[in-house]
Amino acid sequence: MDVSSFAQALEKERDTLAEQLSAIAVVNPLNPADWEAKDPSLDIMEADLNEVGDRVEERFSNLAEQNLLESRYRDVLRALEKIAAGTFGVCEISAEPIEQDRLSANPAARTCKAHMEREHELL
Ligand SMILES: [Zn+2]
């Protein structure tokens, strides 16, 4: 399988995700795959309660967004590692080749179509 076009797409997505994550989180210097949320200040002394509520809400929506981005970022990094290791395009559950059209739709896919629903069970 020619993986170079997948590698290109994955590298591009990795950079985009890193950029999006850097807007809402800071990378853990000890582990580049781990991002920590920027902590917006919740200084009650100078903010009224509505404002604090807004900031708490913002913090939670940032966290949800961060979790999504971070899990996608990990999948993309994992796929790039697989390319480097020569194991790209193999289902992590059945060890069968992942369908070409599935990889085209999602180069970071970890399973073949038959095991798509079990992808979330993988660590
Ligand atoms: Zn499979």
d(CA 115, CA 52): 44
87 Cα: distance to centroid of ligand 1 (angstroms): 14
What's the 91 CA to ligand 1 centre distance in angstroms? Answer: 5
Task: Write down how long the chain is.
Answer: 123
pTM here is 0.77
Per-residue pLDDT of the chain (123 residues; tens, 9 = 90+): 789 999 999 999 999 999 999 888 877 777 777 777 766 555 555 567 777 788 778 877 888 888 999 999 999 999 999 999 999 999 999 999 999 999 999 999 999 999 999 998 988
Q: Which residues are found with C-beta within 5 Å of the ion, ligand 1?
A: 91, 93-94, 96, 112, 115
- Residue 45 has a pLDDT of 56
Mapping DSSP onto H, E and C, the string for 5-74 reads: HHHHHHHHHHHHHHHHHHHHEEEECCEEEEEEECCCCCCHHHCCHHHHHHHHHHHHHHHHHHHHHHHHHH
The pLDDT value recorded for residue 61 is 81
Best CA proximity match to 107, nearest among 17, 33, 5, 18: 5
pLDDT at 40: 56
CA of 112 to the centre of ligand 1 (A): 4
